């Protein structure tokens, strides 16, 4: 590829990243400072020149430490074959843990799952607070619009979720230019505010942040619960790395996003110093009155993009969690042939829509939701930081003294934010914790239940070698029909339940049999040459072959497409895959008396199993050639 073409591709990646990755953090200036100085806050921050300088300085240095250092300079280098996010950290953790550190890795992996659970809370709160905060700008244009804010927000959210099934590929091309316009506009408005009070730039000095934090700790500590809103969306920079790459995200942040955000925050600070009454809406009041309505419309577009990004992120986390065994198999629709990360999960989409609308009607303002919002952000950031330093020690053998020094600084900042947000526990912070605990309980229960079912299923299936021996002994009483049968199984040691049932009840078997084991590896994608492996297991004379198929956790598990990679020489060319019949085992779960799990977890596991997607659709099997045979297992 020529230099010019490479530069074009890189520019396109940066523009794409600006349109998707930075939507959440890019809209934070709408509500952050307004929330800090909200007079209705249970722990209000008095409006004074010193406090404004201190808060603006705290915002600047929080963004520098949490976003620029923790994510841009550190976390983005901890990728799992190009993929980022909490799930990527969990897989890196499993892969790099030594024998001595397995117990620690297990606990940290559990913490990582809780971080992923917190993200589900984030994906419910972000669309609500983002769209609400933008539509609230209408009140500054025309106060009579006050009662219309919630209904308008609800309509926008419903439309947003209704169009999810169409995918983001069609509108993705316009996201980048809109967000570029957004950052240019908020940066320019920030400059006009700074021009009124240039002394605000002195807040760049860390002495103002430290002086406010330690000199007025009784005020600053509670202010941190709102200051953390300035770093909301930081996790998206890491989670979306697989779509755009580290360089595109880093360049977009350092060249445009960071300067624009800081100009907006400093401009709002100058505006508040100029007139404390401006705390009612400093972001929108930076614009001249004639431009406020266009700014509200632009802000609404930007917040819709921010909501779109976090909704898509929820789809991705759900898909990856299901692939890794923490959630049941759900129906996943891939909405783009070019971008594998653009997926649609119907069940999650409707769950999120109902949840977001409930939040909008329950809290009714962005300020009220802000108390809940910070908890998800601080929790996820702290877990990400902790996992990163453990992986840096295990994988890269970074000197321990350097890791300890960095971890102490960054984790101290993170934990201070967590502690501050805990003071809002009774004012809304309980909500994301409840959502996260619920999601965490479901995920860990499903993982444990799968282990129980797998063990019970192996007992029911019995040994494959013994089953083949029985086929030979009873060959005279078992009819052999022409054609190829494909059975899905969990490995090569046990006999497929559907195959055993077909033989025992129908007294029939196919001339050629493929036993397929599908393995999801802790990597995003695999090359075709690493996809398939055939092992005759010594049963080729019986016409039975074992095939292991491997998929990355971000891939579509299309069984027919994968089998096309099968080399006919490995099965002696005897298979007719074009007309093969596929046999699936449908397991009915029943609550047993065994002490495998608590009774309530058994009920939860069985209830969760009802949302499992149809296996034939999930694996891309032809309906007219798929046979489902049932059996039951107690948990």
Residue 225 shares a structural domain with residue 290: yes
Does residue 439 form part of some domain?
Answer: no
Do 364 and 493 fall into the same domain? Answer: no
> 488 pLDDT exceeds 70?
yes
Whether 452 and 408 share a structural domain = no
Q: For the chain, what is the largest distance between any 2 Cα atoms, rounded to a whole number of angstroms?
A: 96
- Regarding whether 549 and 474 lie in a shared domain, the answer is yes
Lowest mean pLDDT among 18-27, 128-137, 236-245, 432-441: 236-245
Count up the domains in the chain and report the number: 2
Q: 502 near 531, Cβ under 8 Å? A: no
What is the Cα 244 distance to its own chain's centre?
Answer: 16
Q: What is the mean pLDDT of residues 138-158?
A: 88
SS (H, E, C) 15-39: HHHHHHCCHHHHCHHHCHHHHHCCC
**Residue 462 and residue 406 share a domain:** no
Residue 235 and residue 313: Cα distance in Å, rounded? Answer: 10
Are 353 and 414 in a shared domain?
yes
Helix (H) or strand (E) holding 583: strand 581-590
| Residue 98 predicted with pLDDT over 90 | no
Same domain for 422 and 453, yes or no, is no
d(CA 437, CA 439): 6
Distance, in Å, from the CA atom of 525 to the CA atom of 532, rounded to the nearest integer, reads 13
Query: From CA 178, how far away is CA 160, in angstroms rounded?
Result: 17
pLDDT more than 90, % of the chain? 30
The answer to whether residue 436 is domain-embedded is: no
Domain membership of residue 437 (yes or no) is no
pLDDT tens profile 270-281: 999 999 989 988
Indicate whether 247 and 351 sit together in one domain. yes
Secondary structure class of 100 (helix, strand, coil): coil
Alpha-carbon distance of 423 to 461, in angstroms, equals 54
- The Cα–Cα gap between 238 and 79 comes to 9
In whole angstroms, what is the distance from residue 122 CA to residue 232 CA?
9
Instruction: Report whether pLDDT(259) > 90.
Output: yes
> Of the residues 400, 428, 456, which one is the last residue of a structural domain?
428
Give the pLDDT band of residue 284 (cuts 50, 70, 90): very high
Residue 435 lies in a domain: no
Residue 90 falls inside a structural domain = yes
The Cα 501–Cα 366 span in angstroms is 58
492-543: pLDDT as tens digits: 788 888 888 888 888 888 888 888 998 877 676 788 888 988 877 777 777 8
Nearest to 619 by CA among 544, 551, 547, 558: 558
Q: Which of 398, 428, 458 is the last residue of a domain?
A: 428
Indicate whether 49 and 107 sit together in one domain: yes
Lowest-confidence pick of 201-205, 408-412, 534-538, 600-604: 534-538
- Rg of the chain over CA atoms, in angstroms? 28
State which of 401, 428, 455 marks the end of a domain: 428
Closest-CA residue to 204 (of 68, 69, 25, 61): 61
Same domain, 421 and 452: no
**Domain membership flag for residue 79:** yes
Q: Are 126 and 310 in contact (CB under 8 A)?
A: yes
pLDDT band at residue 469 using 50, 70 and 90 as cut-offs: confident
Angstrom distances, CA of residue 291 to CA of 135, 140, 277, 494: 15, 11, 20, 70
Name the range with the highest mean pLDDT among 79-93, 425-439, 532-546. Answer: 425-439
> Does 442 reside within a domain?
no
What's the rounded Cα separation, in Å, for the pair 164 and 342?
10
Residues of the domain holding 526: 447-634
Both tokens assigned to 484 = 């190829």
Statement to judge: residues 291 and 335 lie in one domain: yes
Lowest mean pLDDT among 2-16, 342-356, 465-479: 2-16
State residue 472's pLDDT score: 83
Question: What pLDDT is recorded for position 341?
Answer: 53
Task: Examine the domain organization and report whether 410 and 495 are in the same domain.
Answer: no
Written as one string, the DSSP assignment of 249-302 is HHHHIIIIIHHHHHHHHHHHHHHHHH-GGGGGSHHHHTS-GGGHHHHHHHHHHH
For the chain, percent of residues with pLDDT exceeding 70: 93
pTM, two decimals, is 0.79
Asked whether residue 481 is domain-assigned, the answer is yes
Which tokens sit at 146?
């006050």
Q: d(Cα 498, Cα 181) in Å, to the nearest integer?
A: 58
Q: Count other Cβ atoms within 10 Å, centred on residue 291.
A: 14
Grade residue 8 by pLDDT with cuts at 50, 70 and 90. low
Question: Which CATH number belongs to the domain containing residue 58 in this structure?
Answer: 1.20.1740
pLDDT at 627: 86
């Amino acid at each position: 590829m020529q230099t010019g073409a490479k530069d074009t591709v890189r520019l396109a990646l940066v523009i794409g990243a600006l349109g998707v990755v930075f939507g959440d953090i890019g809209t934070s200036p709408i509500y952050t400072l307004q929330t800090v100085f909200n007079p209705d806050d249970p722990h209000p921050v008095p409006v004074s020149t010193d406090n404004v300088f201190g808060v603006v300085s705290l915002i600047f240095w929080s963004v520098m430490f949490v976003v620029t250092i923790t994510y841009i300079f550190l976390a983005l280098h901890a990728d799992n074959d190009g993929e980022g996010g909490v799930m990527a950290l969990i897989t890196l953790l499993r892969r790099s843990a030594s024998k001595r550190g397995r117990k620690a890795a297990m606990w940290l992996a559990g913490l990582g799952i809780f971080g992923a659970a917190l993200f589900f809370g984030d994906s419910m709160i972000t669309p609500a607070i983002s769209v609400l905060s933008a539509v609230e700008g209408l009140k500054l244009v025309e106060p009579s619009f006050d009662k219309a804010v919630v209904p308008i927000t609800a309509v926008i959210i419903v439309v947003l979720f209704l169009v999810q099934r169409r995918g983001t590929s069609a509108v993705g091309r316009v996201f980048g230019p809109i967000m570029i316009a957004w950052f240019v506009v908020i940066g320019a408005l920030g400059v006009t505010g700074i021009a009124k009070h240039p002394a605000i730039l002195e807040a760049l000095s860390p002495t103002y942040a430290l002086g406010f934090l330690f000199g007025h700790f009784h005020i600053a500590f509670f202010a941190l619960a709102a200051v953390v809103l300035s770093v909301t969306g930081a996790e998206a920079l890491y989670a979306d790395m697989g779509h755009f790459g580290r360089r595109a995200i880093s360049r977009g942040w350092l060249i445009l996003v960071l300067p624009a955000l800081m100009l907006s925050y400093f401009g709002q600070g100058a505006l508040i110093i100029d007139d404390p009454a401006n705390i009612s809406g400093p972001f929108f009041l930076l614009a001249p009155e004639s431009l406020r309505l266009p700014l509200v419309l632009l802000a609404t577009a930007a917040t819709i993009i921010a909501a779109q990004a976090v909704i898509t992120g929820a789809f991705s986390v759900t898909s990856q969690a299901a692939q890794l065994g923490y959630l049941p198999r759900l129906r996943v629709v891939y909405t783009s042939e070019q971008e594998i990360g653009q997926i649609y999960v119907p069940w999650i989409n409707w769950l999120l829509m109902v949840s977001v609308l409930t939040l909008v009607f329950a809290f009714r303002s962005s300020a009220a939701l802000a108390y809940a919002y910070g908890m998800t952000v601080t929790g996820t950031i702290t877990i990400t930081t902790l996992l990163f330093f453990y992986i840096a020690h295990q994988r890269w053998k970074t000197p321990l003294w350097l890791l300890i020094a960095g971890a102490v600084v960054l984790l101290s900042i993170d934990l201070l934010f967590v502690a501050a947000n805990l003071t809002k526990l009774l004012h809304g912070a309980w909500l994301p914790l409840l959502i996260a605990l619920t999601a965490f309980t479901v995920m860990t229960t499903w993982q444990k239940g799968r282990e129980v079912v797998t063990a019970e299923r192996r007992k029911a299936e019995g040994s494959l070698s013994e089953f083949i021996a029985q086929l030979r002994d009873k060959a005279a009483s078992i009819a052999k029909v022409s054609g190829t049968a494909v059975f899905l199984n969990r490995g090569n040691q046990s006999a497929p339940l559907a195959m055993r049932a077909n033989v025992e009840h129908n007294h029939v078997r196919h001339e050629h049999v493929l036993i397929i084991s599908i393995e999801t590896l802790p990597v995003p994608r695999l090359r075709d040459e690493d996809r398939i492996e055939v092992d005759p297991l010594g049963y080729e004379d019986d016409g039975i072959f074992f095939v292991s198929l491997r998929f990355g956790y971000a891939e579509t598990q299309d069984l027919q497409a994968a089998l096309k990679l099968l080399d006919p020489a490995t099965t002696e060319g005897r298979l007719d895959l074009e007309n093969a019949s596929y046999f699936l085992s449908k397991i009915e779960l029943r609550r047993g008396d065994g002490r495998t799990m608590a009774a309530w977890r058994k009920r939860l596991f069985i209830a969760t199993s009802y949302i499992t997607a149809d296996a034939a659709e999930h694996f891309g099997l032809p309906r007219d050639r798929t046979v489902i045979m049932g059996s039951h297992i107690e948990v």
